[in-house]
Amino acid sequence: MEAIILAGGFGTRLRPLTYSVPKPLLPVMNTPMIVGIINSLPPEVDRVVLAVNYMAKAIRDHFAANDIGREVIVVVEDEPLGTGGAVKNCESQIRGKFFVINADVITKLDMVAYLAFHNNCGGIGVLALQEVEDPTRYGMVITDQNNSIQKFVEKPGENEIVTNWINAGTYILEPEVLEFITPEKKVSIEREVFPVILEKGLYGFKYVGLWKDAGTPGSYLDAHALMLEAEVAAGLAKTTHLLGEGTHLDSGVELGENVCIGSGVKIATGCRLSNCVVHDNATIGKDCILDGVVIGDRATIGNGCTLENDVLVEAGATVESGAQLSCGARVRQSKERQEN
């Protein structure tokens, strides 16, 4: 069985992190998010098809260098084909029913139960659904009492909201769905395909549990908080901290809630970190305060910096000593390109 992973967006909402690392390779809990998704797939999936375009080479290189125990096929779009066009573009790799997964979704959805649900429904496909407070950022999905989807509205306006159940970005589809997608054209599966195939029996699988679309700075940090809290709740960790191999914290470094630090990171004395994600090989000088911050690979933070409340630092970038950055500040590799 195949799983198509939609990994081709530009990740604009996570810039400048995504100027140097494509969104699917950004780490969540110190593992590229796309690898976490692949690891959650049921054993039936023996072939993973990656639908990519932006920074395709980086994604291809990652899987050439790291064996994940399944066949991996990289299908490159010259131009982004949209979520539906990208699926159609992978048609030659599909042998039967298949998964389609958004590469930025962090979830503990039980894929085995999900597949069993689809087989039991016997429709053209099934969408995993999640309940959220504000559906406007998502695809709103209305089902009947038999879980049959009656309506799909992508990014509904405030006045269109009639349910809080949304598309969680994980589908199981029968190959017949491919007949409803025009080849070699930009097609949105959410806007142009789902509304049309409802009558063929499209079902919703209501999932209650850990779920986050990690595609924005806030939700990327929230995804870590949820995962770290889940580790503590499961007795796998004592604190909401995760530290990679070879990471060194000088004495006098204070870690508050929700701190995920990659490998080979150095943090000097007097620093206080909370609600932070620090990628591999970053260096943080002494007496820094970091709260609500993502620091990219190999980035350098000088001494005595305060970075608070939604600050992103691109891989390889430098923050000069004494900098005070907050509220949406973005630091790029070269100083001229620093945005605020």
Q: Binding-site residue total for ligand GDD (CB under 6 A)?
A: 27
Per CB under 6 A, the list member of 42, 80, 201, 270 interacting with ligand GDD is 80
Q: Interacting stretch for ligand GDD, rule CB under 6 A, among 64-72, 75-83, 91-99, 262-270?
A: 75-83
Residue by residue, DSSP assigns 14-72 as GTTHHHHS-GGGSEETTEEHHHHHHHTS-TT--EEEEEE-TTHHHHHHHHHHS--SSEE
Does 215 help bind ligand GDD (rule: CB under 6 A)?
yes
The HSE-up count of residue 99 (CA atoms within 13 Å, CB side) is: 29
Does 2 help bind ligand GDD (rule: CB under 6 A)?
no
State residue 284 phi and psi, 5-degree precision.
Answer: -120, 120
Does 86 help bind ligand GDD (rule: CB under 6 A)?
yes
Contact criterion met (CB below 8 Å) for 273 and 265: no
Q: Which of ligand GDD, Mg ion, none has residue 63 at its interface (CB below 5 to 8 Å by kind)?
A: none
Q: Binding-site residue total for Mg ion (CB under 5 A)?
A: 3
Name residues contacting ligand GDD, limited to 111-140 (CB under 6 A): 138-139
We find the least distance from the C-beta atom of residue 241 to ligand GDD, in angstroms, to be 27
Does 292 help bind ligand GDD (rule: CB under 6 A)?
no
Per CB under 5 A, the list member of 24, 139, 215, 217 interacting with Mg ion is 215
In angstroms and rounded to an integer, the radius of gyration of the C-alpha atoms of the chain is: 21
Does 154 help bind Mg ion (rule: CB under 5 A)?
no
Go through 53-68 and write b for each residue having 16 or more CB atoms within 10 A of its CB, e for each that does not: bbbbeebeebbeeeee
What x/- string results for residues 38 through 57 when contact with ligand GDD is judged by CB under 6 A?
A: -------------xxx----
The Cα 102–Cα 4 span in angstroms is 9
Contact criterion met (CB below 8 Å) for 76 and 53: yes
Residues binding ligand GDD (CB under 6 A): 6-9, 23, 51-53, 77, 80-83, 86, 102-105, 138-139, 154, 166-167, 169, 190, 213, 215
